Amino acid sequence: MRQIVLDTETTGLEVSQNHRIIEIGAVELDNRRLTGRQYHQYIQPDRAIDAGALEVHGITEEYLADKPRFAEIADEFLDFVEGAEVVIHNAAFDVAFLDYELRLCNANTRMEIVSAGVIDSLAIARKEYPGQRNNLDALCKRLGIDNSRRKLHGALLDAEILAEVYLGMTGGQGSLGFDSSGGDATSNRYDGPVFDPASHPPLVVVKPDAEALKAHAAYLKRLDESCDDGCAWTVQPAAAIAE
């Protein structure tokens, strides 16, 4: 199964205010392993970059002055993502911008048409870790993924990190590269998800204190006394535990 893990950087937050994409970064997975193929492009947006966005990604208008416009790279980008599942964190945001750029250059397509579907890794994270922070940095910390290179947001680096996060959330795969151990690559091959305990939060074990153990023993005693013929449990084991 071919998948493209993708991220963008933009001039601002709102397509409705004519904000534009200024960077696209994407990496390819095949059967849940990096192939080494990637797509990366800076883009001239023909408009100013919001101060808030600049603080996030650090990409200046001066740096983008000689970069191609989206219309010039649209075919190359579409060729890269065509027919693949596309994995994006907070997909609605990036897809809205990509569809907007495709519409502006009269590409006559949308992401849902050119791709084999869009997977929102943020939705997966919210289901997996409800009530917790699920941005990329928080997920890296939770899954034990090194993101020390991520000083500012960058589309290609974020796509590479997201690939690790996505694999960690959906199967616990610990290695993104090809098997270099030698031998027949097709013999005894298993292409299913690989569980890696190191990619999951440690189990928290809360031990009861003496007061809790005493209350538990008393509760079991009351239950035992309420049964005419005695219960399956007895006070004896609880007392032994309390000691």
140 and 113 fall within a common domain: yes
In tens digits, the chain (243 residues) has pLDDT values of 899 999 999 999 999 999 999 999 999 999 999 999 999 999 999 999 999 999 889 899 999 999 999 999 999 999 999 999 999 999 999 999 999 999 999 998 999 999 999 999 999 999 999 999 999 989 999 999 887 877 657 889 899 999 999 999 998 554 444 333 333 333 333 344 444 545 555 555 567 778 878 887 777 777 666 655 555 544 444 444 444
Token pair for residue 174? 């610990």
Q: Which of 19, 89, 153, 216 is catalytic?
A: 153
142 and 46 fall within a common domain: yes
The reply to whether the predicted model has a pTM over 0.85 is no
- Residue 71 and residue 107: Cα distance in Å, rounded? 8
Q: Parallel, antiparallel, or unpaired for β 85-88 and 2-10?
A: parallel
Cβ neighbours of residue 76 under 8 Å, at least 6 residues apart? 39, 41
Give the CATH number of the domain where residue 38 resides.
3.30.420.10
125 and 171 fall within a common domain: yes
194 and 231 fall within a common domain: no
User: Catalytic annotation on 153?
Assistant: yes
Range of the domain at 37: 2-179+190-199
* Strand partners of residue 8: 24
171 and 194 fall within a common domain: yes
Kind and range of the H or E run holding 34: strand 33-42
* 184, part of any domain: no
